[in-house]
């Protein structure tokens, strides 16, 4: 698994619950986070480097635990490693549409995700005539990555973006960045009562479980190792707060 930083830990947590004996390897590319504010070429290069690293460690299933990287890089990853099952994450447009009563649906995501052809195709395919309110959350993933979750700057960003969707009249909101899961309670509070939040971590984990069960030998070496291109201490702090299983944490190879 990999993500631009700590956001994908929300997906890792859900996968561990689905596959308690799986061998899990996670790369947090925190030295280059957030991806949502980087160029397409940069994101693709990072995704390919990290995928090559994971394949080199023996991965047969790779989870792109980042909406932005999924949107701009997953097709190329699948072309380069056809023998590897590559699972991505996308904003839960379909379940948000299904949950909406007034047909006004919000999506909170990075600029890069919202601009991507893959996301536009997703909305065209799944919106079912709903009015879609797309909220670019510039700086939010970076604030989650770098700040304490109770930091006032982070709280202000959450209020600003959630308030814009509340004022637009949405009654369902899809979280389009795995980082946002960690502030979902604050988002829910800012949106107000009666607005449903859709997070796809459990759905992604269920898909990974299906893929792994179809692969002979998947999960043969249980354990969980987290690597980061950033500060291992920062990753350890996040992991201690959000993950309730044994793991090891290390700096990623210098080559990454």
- Can you give the CATH number for the domain in which 115 is found? 3.40.50.1860
Q: What domain count does the chain have? A: 2
Cα–Cα nearest to 183, from 216, 212, 219, 155: 155
For residues 119 and 97, membership in a common domain is answered with yes
Give the confidence band of 221 by pLDDT, cuts at 50, 70, 90.
low
Range of 60's domain?
2-89+201-251
- In this structure, the answer to whether residues 188 and 129 fall within a common structural domain is yes
Question: In this structure, is residue 256 part of a structural domain?
Answer: no
Co-location of 193 and 208 in the same domain: no
> Residue 49 and residue 61: Cα distance in Å, rounded?
16
66, 130, 137, 224: the catalytic one is 66
With cut-offs at 50, 70 and 90, classify the pLDDT of residue 99: very high
Return the pLDDT at 116.
96
DSSP letters along 96-124, please? Answer: HHHH-SSSEEEEEE-HHHHHSHHHHHHHH
Q: Given this model, what pLDDT does residue 213 score?
A: 84
For residue 237, being part of any structural domain is answered with yes
183 occurs within a structural domain: yes
Residue 84 annotated among the catalytic residues of the structure: no
Same domain? For 205 and 84 the reply is yes
> For the segment 125-160, what is each residue's pLDDT rounded down to a tens digit?
999 999 999 999 999 999 999 898 889 999 999 999
Q: Please state, in angstroms and as integers, the Cα–Cα distance from residue 39 to each residue in 43, 44, 103, 111, 134, following that order.
A: 6, 9, 33, 11, 20
Give pLDDT tens digits for 59-77. 999 999 999 999 999 999 9
Asked about 66 being catalytic, the answer comes back as: yes
Tell me which of 255 and 134 has the higher pLDDT: 134
Q: What is residue 37's predicted lDDT score, i.e. its pLDDT?
A: 87
pTM assigned to the model: 0.93
Same-domain status, 77 and 111: no
Same domain, 74 and 119: no
Catalytic position from the list 137, 177, 212, 224: 177
Specify the pLDDT at position 218. 52
């Amino acid at each position: 698994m990999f993500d631009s930083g700590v956001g994908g830990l929300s997906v890792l947590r859900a996968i561990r619950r689905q596959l308690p004996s799986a061998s899990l390897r996670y790369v947090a590319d925190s030295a280059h986070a957030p991806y949502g504010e980087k160029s397409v070429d940069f994101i693709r290069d990072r995704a390919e480097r990290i995928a090559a690293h994971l394949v080199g460690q023996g991965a047969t299933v790779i989870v792109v635990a980042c909406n932005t990287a999924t949107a701009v890089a997953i097709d190329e990853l699948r072309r380069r490693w056809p023998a590897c099952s590559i699972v991505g994450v996308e904003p839960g447009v379909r379940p948000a549409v299904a949950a909406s009563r007034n047909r006004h649906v919000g999506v909170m995501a990075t600029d890069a995700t919202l601009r991507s052809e893959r996301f536009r195709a997703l909305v065209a395919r799944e919106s079912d005539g709903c009015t879609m309110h797309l909220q670019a959350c510039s700086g939010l993933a970076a604030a989650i990555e770098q700040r304490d979750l109770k930091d006032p700057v982070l709280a202000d960003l959450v209020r600003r973006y959630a308030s814009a969707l509340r004022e637009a009249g949405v009654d369902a909101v899809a979280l389009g960045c795995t980082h946002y899961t960690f502030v979902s309670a604050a988002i829910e509070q800012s949106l107000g009562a009666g607005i449903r939040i859709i997070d796809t971590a459990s759905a992604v984990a269920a898909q990974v479980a299906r893929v792994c069960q179809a692969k002979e030998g998947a999960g043969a070496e249980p354990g969980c190792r987290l690597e980061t291109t950033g500060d291992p201490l920062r990753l350890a702090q996040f992991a201690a707060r959000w993950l309730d299983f044994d793991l090891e944490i290390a700096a990623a190879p210098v080559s990454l």
